Structure 1
Amino acid sequence: MPFLKLIRYQNLVMIALMQLLFHYGFLKQQPGLIPALSDFQYLLLIIATICIAAGGFVINNIMDQETDRIAKPNNLVVGKFISEAAAYNIYIGCNIIGVGIGFYLSNLIGKAGFSALFIIIAATLYLYATSLKQSLLIGNIIVALLLSVSVIIIGIFDLYPIINETNQAQLSVLFRILLDYAVFAFMINFIRELVKDIEDMDGDYNAGMNTLPIAIGKARAAKVAFALAFIPIASLLYYINQNLLGLQFVLFYLLLFVIGPLLYFLIKIWGAKNKAEFHHLSLVLKLVLLFGILSIGVITFNMHYHA
């Protein structure tokens, strides 16, 4: 259990679930489309992604020991259950596996330069944990980008290698859909990171961090999160109006499981004051992310059987 907490397995499960859904529940359901990666190769891509993400969570836990002792003593793993030396070994092992698989897959599809993407992600996560996290909003942006990149990388490895003059129009539409989901994931993750900063404000302050609630105060930071939450709501309503009005099942699903919880978040964040309330709101946004990811399967099913 300490090891699972160290690598934050819930987040890794979400990344893996998302990549499985987009490959099997979306791309492989498109008529006449054969993705570039075989099932085994795609499994390797998932392993590479979650290994690098796990490495990022491990180094973050190593660097967050002092903060967690104050803000989240129950979540403290490094130094309590797992030694710092062992945690560093796990971090190195995760990155070696992730980058190694990434290098193998990049050469397999004839795009050796793509391996640099895995190295850049691993290096960025290290810089985030060791220095960038202390910079105002930069750390939030980097963490928010992690899930987004996990979506975009599907298009890079599954679609880009098979583009030709015949299928370019079709694949560009599919890649644009992946990009839409990546943008949505970024918006929700960014707001969630702000809420988590408010929740962890005391520990971050004692650790010398420079988060938004420390810079402008907890109440004002909550109002910023409130204002930002209007962006994904407005974007979703516009997207539904432009693309999904003919899909009744999808429409009800998004209103009930994505927009509904976002409206609930808006109502609750305005008056939230204590740590428990902000923790609850962070979980609400995590559910929004989960149901948002699941919607790709709902859309594909509705288009195939009820459109």
Structure 2
Amino acid sequence: MSTLNVIRSGLFGLLGSLMLLTSTLAQDASKVNIPVPPYQRCDSFKYQMTKEDIEKDFVVDLPEQVTYENGVMYWEANEQKYWPGLTYRENDIWYGKASITLKMAPKSGIATAFIRGKQSADEIDYEWVGKDTKNVQSTFFVDGHHKERVEAKYSAGSSDLAAEFHTYDLVYKKDMIEWWMDGKQIDSWSKNEHPTAFPANAREWKMNLWNGGLQHGDWAGKIDWTSEPKSAKAAISAISFESYCDADTVKGQHKTLGGEVETGTTPAPVQPALPPPPVAQTTTDQPEAQPEVTQLETQPDATQTPAIDGIMPPF
């Protein structure tokens, strides 16, 4: 057998092996169950006020200051430990209605907060300051800063927000934010009316107490731990979230933020075309033609937001 025929035979054998290998890889890839973040949870969920149910989805800050009794969760702040609360541990919510039913903490200087978003980034808040139990405040940040307004106050009239349970909803849509209290809309902010002053990426979800009097006494009130009560307590009887997904998205599924439904499997990779069999050389002086290889260009991640100090405390 000539040297050329030996080369041909070896190449055909190699190509056959490659085709078998790529076919096997394609079959195996269809069985891989790897979610592709970021994705969105497309259902509604309501939490029981028990340690087991809360810790299933939330990181609890200062768990020794968080207690549960008769279907109610309590956060208690004192002079040494004044930031008990919850942070949702997943990255699978975006637009939707976040709801809480609570009695605010009444001590001057202590702020109660219910938040969508992240400190020093995009953030949407409900806040209650302990020196004022008759009003609730709505506010937001864009890239860690107030834009076009600071906060708005809503009066509860004769109600004492520290003595009675009330339900508060943060409704976050792609082009609108709405604040609701006991089924009544009390504030709103439109992206269409304020295109450069709208928090477009307030994905996180957290709630807590914090000592607003340390740096913002004019706003939250000065705090005196020697006077009664020597601690501040908030009571929470309900927490829930309702995702706003596209109408054609099945509840219980996840969808990618680009709008595609995430089924939990990774599609088989597209295999490049195999090069044709080599052509017999007319001379032994010319090298064999090599297949052209095209490399995919990787784009840098340009989504990082610089940290800018806001007014909220660390979580």
Normalised by the length of structure 2, the TM-score is: 0.21
Higher strand share: 2
TM-score normalised by structure 1 residue count:
0.21
- Which structure would you say has the larger RCO, counting Cα contacts within 8 Å and 6 or more residues apart? 2
Higher helix share: 1
In our comparison, the structure showing a higher alpha carbon Rg is 2
